[in-house]
Structure 1
Amino acid sequence: MSQTVAELNEHFGMAGVLAFREEHGLIFADITTPVAKASVCMQGAHVLDWQPNGQEKVLFLSQKSDMAPGKPIRGGIPILFPWFGPRHDGKEGPMHGFARIQPWTLGFAALAGDDLHMTFTLGGTDVSRGLGFDHFRVAYQVTFGKALKLQLTVANDGTEPLVFEEGLHTYFHVKDVRAMTLAGLDGTHYKDKVDDFKVKPQIAGPMHLTGPTDRVYMNTTATCIVTDPGFKRAITIEKAGSETTVVWNPWKEVPDIQTDGWHEFVCCETVNAGDQTVTLGPGKAHAMEAHISVA
């Protein structure tokens, strides 16, 4: 059973810090800490906003995004699991998996100093079982403060190997994607999805996006930095337990993004996919982390 707004406010609500509300058939958590504001949708444990004091919002959220049960939300930090992109085994399934369109359970929330810590969980559901996934547990620990810390832990509680892809598909808010740069991927190779999946070397130096971009960087654990002259800031994305980084911007109008909205974001995604697909033995667990900070 999904948690209700009343149950969430009774067990986890904190005056002036954490409150839950329902809109469009979805439940949202509104967060205010001494150093930041944020919001989360319980469907998908989807972080929608994070804004440290004195900063522009760090995450892009489309003004035209579907906000309805079972519909993916455009923007913020969608959780991709148990596959990245379309399903690869010939069977049907939702784009980027089922985790982002399922209600998650909040198991923990506590304020420690300036940071709010929350833990969301997802296990087998009727939807996941219908897609062939039952014996798994996902725990998503999120810390909201001056930094945004994310840890996605997948456990195999079955008797057979669990094979999955995973991703934190983060939409970073920038003043103008045509002016920002992205650094940290020197010396890597990527599959260029807009050029027939050709494998290419990353040119040394900061990356300037100049057209449609959908790159899957392989075998990289590197820290990335988005430098945004428009907002006069640098966003640093550190990661662990992830060996794939995806950089994406459509460079065109998208139906569920407002007019010219593509100018306002770049996706720098913390991922394990493709050649870095994870295989977990029975009783094993795997953690993937992202640590986002702004200066």
Structure 2
Amino acid sequence: MRSARPHRVRAGEGVDHPFADLLRPAAGQPFRWAEHQGRELLLVEHSRCSAVFSRQGGQLLHFQPHGERPLLWCATRWPRIGAIRGGVPVCWPWFGRHPMEGGWPHHGWARLSDWRLIHKAADDNGVRVTWRLDLHDWQVELEAELGGRMSLQLVTRHRDSEPCVLSHALHAYWRVSDVARVALLGLDGAEGRDLLSREPCRQGGELRVIDGCHRVFRQGGRVKIQDAGWQRRLCIDGGNNPNTVVWHPGSRPLSEVSWAEGLGFLSVQGAACGDDSAELVAGEEARLSLEAWVG
């Protein structure tokens, strides 16, 4: 049976996000800079979509196609210093804890560093934005194409003479009506590891978050968030990524995030981590992709 068409947003609806007061379309100017909570932001206002990037982390914080609710969730309050929770943080050049240096930051340096904006352009279909970060013998770029849908590519170039191991993720926070009312489809039969129980896992049927979830599946490709509260189906395509990571803290508190606010997201990430980390030789590239749209 064909599902009902997703809810379309009427004028003035669906603007309850942290950037609603910042986004004010300026005729003929799809890009402008602003400051918010101590961070420098690039605001995107186009007839096809609106978006917000942070220079810190080269991080896409907000994306909303015209006529739809925002696809991404972002915390209302940010720490004075440190990572911004929400949007699509870039976990790079390691995912989770560093395997040898316990004092190094969780999920790497990228989300704490200021990136350079090296390209921005707009046409009738949307916008294209590229951010770059150089770190020692590494170079990483985030290429974003935004219009009716969101497309991200993370490209790492290894320029050292020695081989290395890279683990990385596009750690997306997807905005939902209530995490208790959504189901994640497309992982039936996928195998991986449950990081909460520290045991292997195999998904049976749809995935629902009861009280916390942190699983790394050895599968990329397409999944769907079925949101009963908003009657919306959000399609997420990880392409050839080796891993799909699903996370929500459940009843465990998040710093600077209220209980009610934390119910408004489900994190489904494109990644290459653990046994599926990339092994790069000199001059080699590694790529991650993440695409999303309302289906």
Query: TM class, shorter-chain normalised?
Result: 0.7 to 0.9
CA distance in structure 1 between the partners assigned to 2:170 and 2:128 by the alignment: 18
Correspondence for 2:192 among 190, 193, 216: 190
2:270 maps to 270
SS of match in other structure, 2:111 = helix
Matches within 5 A, 1:51-130: 51-66=64-79, 68=80, 70-124=81-135
SS of match in other structure, 2:179 = coil
SS of match in other structure, 1:260 = helix
2:202 maps to 201
CA distance in structure 2 between the partners assigned to 1:183 and 1:222 by the alignment: 12
CA distance in structure 1 between the partners assigned to 2:216 and 2:177 by the alignment: 24
Q: How many residues align?
A: 269
Task: Give the partner amino acid of 2:238.
Answer: K
Task: Give the partner amino acid of 1:20.
Answer: W
Measured on the aligned residues, the alpha-carbon RMSD in Å equals: 1.5
Q: Runs of at least 4 residues of structure 1 off by over 3 A?
A: none
Contact 1:36 1:50 in 2 (8 A): yes
Contact 1:63 1:258 in 2 (8 A): no
Cα displacement (A) at 1:92: 2.5
CA distance in structure 2 between the partners assigned to 1:240 and 1:162 by the alignment: 24
Cα displacement (A) at 1:114: 2.2
2:231 maps to 232
Cα displacement (A) at 1:25: 3.4
Contact 1:62 1:74 in 2 (8 A): yes
CA distance in structure 2 between the partners assigned to 1:89 and 1:292 by the alignment: 34
Cα displacement (A) at 1:231: 1.4
Contact 1:64 1:258 in 2 (8 A): no
Task: Give the partner amino acid of 1:155.
Answer: R
Task: Give the partner amino acid of 1:99.
Answer: A
SS of match in other structure, 1:236 = strand
CA distance in structure 1 between the partners assigned to 2:101 and 2:30 by the alignment: 45
Cα displacement (A) at 1:254: 1.7
TM-score (norm 2): 0.87
Deviations 1:9-30 (A, max 9, x none): xxxx994311012234321011
CA distance in structure 1 between the partners assigned to 2:242 and 2:86 by the alignment: 23
Query: Structure 2 unaligned runs (5+)?
Result: 1-25
SS of match in other structure, 1:207 = coil
1:49 maps to 62
TM-score (norm 1): 0.87
Deviations 1:168-218 (A, max 9, x none): 1100000011111001111211211121x1002111x22222111111112
1:4 maps to none
CA distance in structure 2 between the partners assigned to 1:174 and 1:23 by the alignment: 24
SS of match in other structure, 2:263 = helix
Cα displacement (A) at 1:63: 1.4
2:215 maps to 215
Cα displacement (A) at 1:262: 2.1
2:30 maps to 17
Is the aligned partner of 1:167 residue 2:166?
A: no
Contact 2:182 2:208 in 1 (8 A): yes
